[in-house]
Amino acid sequence: MRRIIVIALSILLLTALCSCELTCDSPAQGKMHIIVYGNDYRYGTYYPVLDRYGDGYKSQVFYDKSSESVGNASSLRGTVNDAYQVGLALCNLAKSRQEYDAIFMLGVESKSVRGLNATVMNDVSMNAFLDVLDSLVNDVGEDDITIIYFSGHGFGEKSKLPYVSDPASGSYLALRRDSDSTVLYPISKFLRTVESIPGTKILIGDFCYSGALVRAGNVSVTSGEYSNISASKLLKYRSNITESSSVYCLSASRYFEESHEPGDGSHGYFTTVLLEALGWDEETQSLVTPEAMTDNRITLFNIAKYVTKNDSDTRQTPMTSGGSNDIILFSF
């Protein structure tokens, strides 16, 4: 009799578990929001810098205080196409994943996004950029994923800082003010704004000194920058470093390195391998097998791993930090 009761209870328990599995909702899958920004700079054109935020910045290479200009020595001709192709790759991947929307902020040229749930903005001004970020703060849900890719000019430190320093406080994005002037936007302010957006945020930067996106202390200590610091002090310093658990950053370079491109108008070296990781064939304008795909999934970890290993320019080192890098962005 006792055996019969045990069997009966086991059947009831199994039935209850199966019933729960069939009726419980699966984890929510939020919407994906894609923002890509590309702003070319041409030889022979000067862009006066307006110190709008009271955070003055001087640079021997890019910023000439006497003329208050970013000069023709820093021409960039491939950033619009960088952002455009990365945006196409992400949108076409997102179509197979979930509901998504996209904004292509492209300076100089107008591009088609036919067949995609995307909008093209040729206004790449500071105000337009901040308006887009503000809209994300108000419209994004807690289960959503926001990807922001930036290709353009960046300004930052020219030398290594003490290990616990935060490079974001002295680094900037160069954004348009209008057709012939530029504003330096502090990366520290950019990061604070992004952190206020609900859900998971992913920042990908292909610009000089883009490692400032990576939180303090996450510069590679294996390359000898801080070989004079003992292991115990490194561990102590590291324990004091804070980073947002909801923001993941992938940069083309360290905070004191420039991000390089061939100079012929083609993609920067970092973006070239990023597109390979995402499986975007620019020639056919279609998806191929993503180099970062494992088990029919693309994760942040695999993207960062592929980009870091295959960036062909030894003058720059891609860096990562922040939220969980095992997030599954796309599955097939």
pLDDT above 70 as % of the chain? 67
Q: Would strands 293-294 and 297-299 be described as parallel, antiparallel, or unpaired?
A: antiparallel
Other CB atoms within 10 A of residue 18 CB: 10
157 has pLDDT over 70: yes
Task: Please tell me the distance from the alpha carbon of residue 236 to that of residue 223, in angstroms, as a whole number.
Answer: 19
The strands making up 328-331's β-sheet, listed across from edge to edge, are 293-294, 297-299, 328-331
Instruction: Choose among 106, 198, 187, 190: nearest CA to 146.
Output: 198
Mark out the alpha helices in the chain (DSSP H runs): 2-23, 79-94, 126-139, 187-195, 231-239, 269-278, 300-310
Task: Please tell me the distance from the alpha carbon of residue 275 to that of residue 267, in angstroms, as a whole number.
Answer: 10
* Confidence category of residue 107, pLDDT binned at 50, 70, 90: confident
State residue 42's pLDDT score. Answer: 58
State residue 298's pLDDT score. Answer: 94
What backbone phi and psi angles, to 5 degrees, belong to 138? -90, -25
293 has pLDDT over 60: yes
Question: What pTM, to 2 d.p., does this model score?
Answer: 0.80
69 has pLDDT over 60: no
250 has pLDDT over 70: yes
Task: Please tell me the distance from the alpha carbon of residue 116 to that of residue 94, in angstroms, as a whole number.
Answer: 10
The CATH number of domain 28-331 is 3.40.50.1460: yes
